[in-house]
Structure 1
Amino acid sequence: MDPAVNSTDPHPSAPRPPSRAARLRARLHPATTPLFLGAVAVAGAVMVHFVDPHEPGHYPTCPWLLMTDTYCAGCGTMRAINALTDLDLAGALRMNVLTVALLPFMLYSYVRWVYFSFRPPTRHIRAAHPFWLWLLLGVILAFWLVRNLPFGAILAPG
């Protein structure tokens, strides 16, 4: 006989009580997570605005750049955000054109997330089609590669 099965137990399939974390999540409003992450993003943008990433020593060096001496797809993002907080679109594009190009999509997705956390949809909302996710991954990897090639030097941060 299996020792894990106790035939004298009156409720062999009784559910376990929820954990403390599960009880806390159940009490939180569905908009807590998106609003918290939005506040963190705004705080990060404010910090990058006031603590200039163009000055050496304020932020750590990109680990990829440090190890390989090539630019990753995200290199220049902090300086691009700094330029955007100064309303310098041309400067942001010089730092990381991919970040600037993806910001409207990220903003749209964030606003939609907040909206649906306050007004849950009545019908099932599908996630992005896998084609678009693979395309995004391909664009990021292509950008990463091209910005490190001699003819793509215009995409390098600077």
Structure 2
Amino acid sequence: MFIDPHSAHHFTLCPLSLAGIDWCPGCGLGRSMKLFAIGEFKASFQMHPLGAFAWVIIPYRIFDIIKQLKTRLNYG
């Protein structure tokens, strides 16, 4: 949430980008999510079409993993 989605240069851990390959199916997803969070829906979709969908999937997976840990390890 602290990234500037409009900057030309950004920090990346993408192995394809670091190898000099321009196309990556996941690049732009974080910036797309940021744009969606601040209400720039059209720009978000143009950056990466699955940015809004990620806002549904990621929290679901976090709560699902927590639920699995609680039942397996008897935390609650």
How would you bin the TM-score normalised by the shorter chain?
Answer: 0.5 to 0.7
Q: Which residue is 2:57 aligned to?
A: 105
CA distance in 2, matches of 1:54, 1:80: 10
1:116 Cα offset (Å)? 3.8
Does the aligned pair in 1 maintain the 2:5–2:32 contact within 8 Å?
A: no
CA distance in 1, matches of 2:65, 2:14: 30
Higher gyration radius (CA): 1
Does the aligned pair in 1 maintain the 2:33–2:55 contact within 8 Å?
A: no
Which residues in structure 2 correspond to 1:124-139 (within 5 Å)? none
1:106 Cα offset (Å)? 2.5
TM-score in terms of structure 2 length? 0.61
Richer in helix (by share): 1
Specify which of 79, 91, 107 is matched with residue 43 of structure 2: 91
The change in CA–CA distance for 1:78 and 1:102 in structure 2 (over 3 A counts) is: closer
CA distance in 2, matches of 1:64, 1:76: 13
2:25 aligned counterpart, secondary structure: coil
Q: CA RMSD in A?
A: 2.9
The change in CA–CA distance for 1:113 and 1:61 in structure 2 (over 3 A counts) is: closer
Q: Specify every segment of 5 or more residues in structure 1 that has no aligned partner in the other structure, as ranges.
A: 1-44, 122-158
| Residues 1:75 and 2:38 are matched in the alignment | no
The change in CA–CA distance for 1:98 and 1:85 in structure 2 (over 3 A counts) is: closer
Does the aligned pair in 2 maintain the 1:53–1:59 contact within 8 Å?
A: no
1:86 Cα offset (Å)? 0.6
CA distance in 1, matches of 2:13, 2:6: 11
Q: Specify every segment of 5 or more residues in structure 2 that has no aligned partner in the other structure, as ranges.
A: none
